[in-house]
Amino acid sequence: MKPFREIYAPDLQSRSLKKEIASQGYLLVRGLLPFEDVNQLLNEILLIVGVAGWLMPGYGFVERAADNGAICGESDSSFNLVYQQVFGLESFHALAHHPALRQVMKLLIGSRLLIHPKPIGRLIFPNCERLVIQAHQDHQSIAGDPESFTAWIPLHNCPLELGPLRILEGSHRFGLQKVDPETGIIPNGTARGGDWVSGQINAGDVLIFHSLTVHAAAPNVSKQLRISLDCRFQDYERAVDPANLVFAGSSNRSWEATYANWRSDDLKYFWKHMSLKLKPSKDELIQLAQTAASPKMQSRYARILSQLESQMPG
């Protein structure tokens, strides 16, 4: 497999970043984030998963030695109980707003930068086939305007055996690709693009890619947890799906619960003061809550609308 195209953070220019993303659909930026800032978040997460029993006894947390008896993923209730604690960390959200990352994303997007408020933590147990993230495009889930971008940030050095991301070069130029309607996954061998690329990604490196870029994770065949963060960015004058601002599922998650133990108010509801172009709009959500194809989807749209009205009345 070909290695990533990469550039070191001090050498990054607006033109080179935009050119690479336009041409290949991605760029790996080496050494963008200070190690100590990434490591601080890693240690906070390790404390949570350690208390939850996800790590082997007799090892230091820093070794991330996974207890295979605790294997769980996003579809498991035991995972979600732990993940809610991780999602509630102020530092978990603050990393997406790191000045170095903001500066680079403004080079790519411009000054009207919207940082999506729900970063995604990937807590991947080793040697579990069902947890391997298969080929997909982020736009399938984040919707809104396709001109949005993901920053994939490993919180520790991620050699090949730990399962870093793979990118299908140039795949963003083919638009939305055919997926399994049940899973959103692109069937094996059908993705359109150039060559698959991958390689080791270290703590402090950031892999930036377009929302239409096909990507997947390599299997984690180590004995360690793989811990990483997905952060999404776009121009706030482009359409944004309001589901990215609220909790559209039927869980008990809320911004009030997320913010409960934060020390600062700086990042709470930061998007409320932006002139966002919601798609679907509030008026469209009212209609969808009544006319969507299934009662389940009607309820989902109603929850989105209710939470939006609470955040941004009027």
Per-residue pLDDT of the chain (314 residues; tens, 9 = 90+): 999 999 999 999 888 899 999 999 999 999 999 999 999 999 999 999 999 999 999 999 889 999 999 999 999 999 999 999 999 999 999 999 999 999 999 999 999 999 999 999 999 999 999 999 999 999 999 999 999 999 999 999 999 999 999 999 999 999 999 999 989 999 999 999 999 999 999 999 999 999 999 999 999 999 999 999 999 999 999 999 999 999 998 677 899 999 999 999 999 999 998 999 999 999 999 999 999 999 999 999 999 999 999 988 76
Confidence at residue 197, expressed as pLDDT on a 0 to 100 scale = 98
For the chain, which domains are there?
Answer: 2-238 (2.60.120.620)
Distance of alpha carbon 314 from alpha carbon 312, whole angstroms? 7
Instruction: Find the Cα–Cα–Cα–Cα dihedral 136, 138, 143, 147, rounded to 10°.
Output: -120
Cα distances (angstroms) measured from residue 79 to each of 64, 65, 126, 207: 16, 17, 15, 26
Distance of alpha carbon 282 from alpha carbon 314, whole angstroms? 10
Residue 228 pairs in a beta bridge with 122, 154
Confidence at residue 204, expressed as pLDDT on a 0 to 100 scale = 98
Distance of alpha carbon 229 from alpha carbon 153, whole angstroms? 5
Task: Give the pair of three-digit tokens for residue 171.
Answer: 């795949």
Distance of alpha carbon 103 from alpha carbon 93, whole angstroms? 17
Confidence at residue 250, expressed as pLDDT on a 0 to 100 scale = 66
Distance of alpha carbon 99 from alpha carbon 34, whole angstroms? 11
Pairing of strands 196-198, 2-3: parallel
Confidence at residue 97, expressed as pLDDT on a 0 to 100 scale = 98
Confidence at residue 13, expressed as pLDDT on a 0 to 100 scale = 87
Is the CB of residue 234 less than 8 Å from the CB of residue 116? yes
Residue 201 pairs in a beta bridge with 158
Exposed, middle or buried by CB within 10 Å (0-12, 13-18, 19+), for 139? buried
